[in-house]
């Protein structure tokens, strides 16, 4: 009975992994309206996808991109929307999430300071915070994610 339960748990875990992989590989809907605005003045320094985590040294999925920018540099909203949250989130550090409607949201992590609050409407290009190194970070940068219906997508497909 114990062995059968272990097999059922393993099968359920495999099914979850398959569903997650299928959702991640499904084509993302095209962004509505204009492309997103680049959210910080700096280059992409790390891409979306599997990589060796710079702190833990293990293979982990990087759910966004990193943009190298100096400490305190302005972070702007990639598009208009409503701030869902502006708080500290463990490894993400100080993080702002903006809902743009139509199932799309963007996430801005590792901020040194946040200048918006939950429930606030923001405009495309509006300053929402400043680049920092809070959470699991090796230096100042912006970690930026695009989420469509809750699933992360490669942000580079939206610029």
Once rounded to an integer, what is the mean pLDDT over residues 32-36? Answer: 72
In this model, does residue 128 exceed pLDDT 50?
yes
Rounded Cα distance, 105 and 82, in Å:
9
Answer with the residue of higher pLDDT: 151 or 20.
Answer: 151
Q: Give the pTM.
A: 0.78
pLDDT-based confidence at residue 41 (cuts at 50, 70, 90) = very high
Answer with the residue of higher pLDDT: 33 or 133.
Answer: 133
Domains of the chain with CATH codes: 29-158 (2.70.70.10)
- Two structure tokens written together for 17: 């992994």
Mean pLDDT of the chain: 86
Rounded Cα distance, 15 and 8, in Å:
10
- Two structure tokens written together for 129: 């915070």
3-state secondary structure of 157: helix
* Percent of the chain's residues with pLDDT above 70: 79
Length of the chain: 159
3-state secondary structure of 102: coil
């Amino acid at each position: 009975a114990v062995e059968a339960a272990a097999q059922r748990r393993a099968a359920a875990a495999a099914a979850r992994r398959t569903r997650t992989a299928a959702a991640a590989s499904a084509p993302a809907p095209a962004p509505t309206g204009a492309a997103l605005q680049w959210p910080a003045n700096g280059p992409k320094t790390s891409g979306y996808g599997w990589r060796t985590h710079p702190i833990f040294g293990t293979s982990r999925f990087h759910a966004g991109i990193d943009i190298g920018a100096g400490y305190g540099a302005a972070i702007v909203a990639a598009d208009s929307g409503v701030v869902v949250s502006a708080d500290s989130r463990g490894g993400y550090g100080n993080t702002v999430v903006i809902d743009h409607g139509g199932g799309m949201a963007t996430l801005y992590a590792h901020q040194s300071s946040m200048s918006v609050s939950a429930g606030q409407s923001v405009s495309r290009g509006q300053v929402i915070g400043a680049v920092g190194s809070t959470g699991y970070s090796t230096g100042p940068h912006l970690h930026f994610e695009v989420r469509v219906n809750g699933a992360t997508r490669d942000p580079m497909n939206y610029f």
